[in-house]
Amino acid sequence: MKELSLNILDIVQNSLTAGASHIEIDLAETDETLRITVTDDGCGMDENTVRNVTDPFYTTRKTRSVGLGIPFFKLAAEQTGGGLTLKSVPASESDGHGTVISALFYKTSIDFTPLGDVASTLCTLVQGLPDGTEITFTHSLPGGTVSLDTAEMRAVLCGVPLSTPEVIVFIKDDLASQYAEARAMK
Amino acid sequence: MKSLEELAKIRERMAGKVALREGENSIRIVVGMATCGIAAGARPVLNALVEEVAKQGVSDKATVSQTGCIGICQYEPVVEVFEPGKEKTTYVKMTPEKAVRVVAEHIKGGKPVVEYTIGNTII
């Protein structure tokens, strides 16, 4: 993956597959570090699956016997001196089921993959977001915070789909202006 | 979110059109968005398709959607076009530039861009 924002897009697909109704994407950035956390209330995974998902030769899909999403994300974090943690509660065990995946990156490392175009990742996610699933996104930077909340947007849109091209363009422009403000304050 | 008022304006503009649109769009454009697709560059391809469908005024007859791994990872980014009553068209090794042509010639013009399809691409 050329950008961490692509890893985020890939990891969030797992939450969608898990049937999550709420997905939280949280980016916490300082001058030296970046922490990316994705929290969902999807079906979760049992202990055995959690142990296996970082193995590139483990996958649930049927088309191929490799699964590189989480291994790529883990590698990207570890090569900067950071790491990945994964916690999951399966639906069979508790009503409070879901998964939290969190990765820490050291931005000062020469092997740090740039975060890249997060706005584009969010537009892609919103474009394909099923009804009944909401995303909240927060990116805290040293100069300010950038955020997006699809539930809030749906409430304003009253039935006009989030995937409407005009809405996607609006999100793109809105995030661009939020980022410009947060970065200017630094 | 900054300007929810702006979003409310979009709602007012779109409300009438959306009602019309439902049930009419018969062509489905599907983009593979699993790890393989994303790593190969599917995100800009998808965004280009969404943009072009709107820009070229074919959003009344085509929708863009996302799917998982299609099973031909070495050909990613892969875009499939489903038209009622016709055979599926599979475009491989897609780029945002190719996406513009697919929307213009295939979705709008009704003629698949044969040179971008799986049978005609040399890997």
B15 vs A89: which has the higher pLDDT: A89
Instruction: Summarize pLDDT for B38-48 with one digit per residue, the tens.
Output: 999 999 999 99
Give me the number of domains chain A comprises: 1
Residue A11 has pLDDT above 80, yes or no: yes
The answer to whether B80 touches B65, Cβ cutoff 8 Å, is no
Is B11 part of a structural domain of the chain? no
Residue B121 has pLDDT above 80, yes or no: no
Over residues A151-178, the mean pLDDT reads 90
Domain hosting residue B77, numbered range: 25-120
Question: Where residue B122 falls among pLDDT bands split at 50, 70, 90?
Answer: low
Q: Look at strands B27-32 and B62-67 and give their pairing.
A: parallel
Q: Is the reported ipTM for this assembly greater than 0.90?
A: no
Q: How far apart are the first and last CA of chain A?
A: 28
Residue B17 has pLDDT above 90, yes or no: no
Residue B123 has pLDDT above 60, yes or no: no
What's the whole-number average pLDDT of chain A? Answer: 91
Chain A residues with at least one Cβ partner in B under 8 Å? 1, 6, 9-10, 13, 17, 61, 63-64, 67-69, 72, 120-121, 123-124, 127-128, 147-149, 152-153, 156-161, 164-170, 174, 177-178
CA distance A87 to A102: 9
Residues in B 52-91 with any Cβ partner in A closer than 8 A: 53-54, 59, 64-66, 68-71, 73
Non-local (6+) Cβ contacts of A142 within 8 A are A29, A30, A31, A186
pLDDT for position B3: 76
Give me the number of domains chain B comprises: 1
Is B7 part of a structural domain of the chain? no
Instruction: Summarize pLDDT for B22-74 with one digit per residue, the tens.
Output: 555 689 999 999 999 999 999 999 999 999 998 898 888 898 999 988 889 99
Domain hosting residue A138, numbered range: 4-184
Instruction: Summarize pLDDT for A102-123 with one digit per residue, the tens.
Output: 999 999 999 999 999 999 999 9
Q: What is the CATH number of the domain that holds B100?
A: 3.40.30.10
Is B8 part of a structural domain of the chain? no
Q: What is the CATH number of the domain that holds A22?
A: 3.30.565
Instruction: Summarize pLDDT for A51-73 with one digit per residue, the tens.
Output: 888 888 877 766 666 678 899 99
Instruction: Summarize pLDDT for A129-162 with one digit per residue, the tens.
Output: 999 999 999 999 999 999 999 999 999 998 888 9
Non-local (6+) Cβ contacts of B85 within 8 A are none
Pick from A179, A186, A182, A184: which is nearest to A5 by CA? A179
Q: What Å distances lie between residue A7 and A21, A115, A118, CA to CA?
A: 21, 9, 10
CB pairs under 8 A between A and B: 101
Residue of A61, A68, A165 lying closest to B51 (CB–CB): A165
